Chains A and B, each alone.
Chain A
């Protein structure tokens, strides 16, 4: 019912919402494309954090932004060599 009212009052056609969403995605793409250093910096920090909990294969880490039509996802593949005992014990 609310949908119907919204349609009658013309909210469904509000193109500003569409523009905002498209713009948000475009800027995510643009900003990551612009700086390759960005992913490198992110990778370094990820290694730092994760290494506190487990021993990882730093050589073979893959960090990338994958984008589909409707979203951009950060995909990280981080091979784990060994869990640290202290981190396990705390849990």
Chain B
């Protein structure tokens, strides 16, 4: 049985879909059979980020309602033979699916795949409840800013409140700008971890390659020079149980900032 992992955040626009695409691709690159599930019914996006938008015939709701078999609806990735996507329905609503149905579907997928990674919609309503229903693990995505951390705290609370035997939530801090952290203008990772009382799965730096790769529909993990891509590859290995040290983010800030740190005037 494979792992069923939901990627969620509460807040929108923090990088859930980007994380699912990159993490899924990275997991496939290191030899796993991976299925990505877009649980954002009505607002599908994962297909576009993966560059698979023209290949969708059947979607998740078609499978649940019995209009298509699961095998028919799974879309094979362009590059990786072991990576598949189950797209969200675009013209339906979140309430057309129940948590029970989602749990059954992901359980079925986990029999064939090493990893089932769910892209959860923003918010904490029906779509969120559906997406977390079948998951054993939760990866919380959060940006280093007040509103995002606040929403992450709420989502962690809801995850923990579930009765079943679920693993504790893990945090990915996304879109970190090392220079801003160095000059004290961005929340520090340690402070966020302390306040959220959660384990760190990874830190992903802000990276222009993400925008370029989304434009092209090719996840950033394919680009060697992408720091965010490298961070996602590390996270994939951590999910496999490997001990991979957290990447040290370079600030490239020269002698002035270093001096400020040395004399203790900047939190470095």
| A34 partner, pick from B154, B183, B184, B195, beta carbons under 8 A | B154
How many angstroms from the CA of A91 to the CA of B191 in the assembled complex? Answer: 42
**Residue in contact with B266 in the complex, picked from A9, A24, A30, A34, CB distance below 8 Å:** A9
Report how far A2 CA is from B255 CA in the complex, Å.
Answer: 21
CA distance A19 to B186 in the complex (A): 8
The smallest beta-carbon distance between B214 and chain A, in angstroms, is: 27
| In contact, B146 and A16 (Cβ under 8 angstroms) | no
Q: A10-B183, A11-B184, A14-B267 are in contact. Are A31 and B191 (CB under 8 A)?
A: no
Which residue of B157, B184, B195, B263 contacts A15 across the interface (Cβ within 8 Å)?
A: B184
User: Which B residues are CB-close (under 8 A) to A30?
Assistant: 150, 153-154
**What's the minimum C-beta distance from A14 to chain B, rounded to whole angstroms?**
3
Interface residues on chain B, number (Cβ under 8 Å) = 21
Complex CA gap A26/B147 in Å reads 9
A80 to B140 alpha-carbon distance, docked (Å): 47
Closest Cβ of chain B to A13, distance in Å, is 8
Q: Does A88 contact B (CB under 8 A)?
A: no
Enumerate chain B residues within 8 angstroms of A83, measured Cβ to Cβ. none
The 10 A-B residue pairs with the shortest CB-CB distance in the complex, in nearest-first order: A14-B184, A9-B265, A23-B146, A15-B185, A16-B184, A11-B265, A20-B191, A19-B187, A19-B146, A26-B150
Q: What are 7 A-B pairs with beta-carbon distances under 8 A?
A: A14-B267, A16-B184, A23-B146, A23-B195, A24-B195, A27-B150, A30-B153
Given contacts A9-B260, A20-B195, A22-B146, 10 further A-B contacts (CB under 8 A): A10-B265, A14-B185, A16-B181, A16-B184, A16-B185, A17-B184, A19-B145, A19-B187, A23-B146, A27-B150
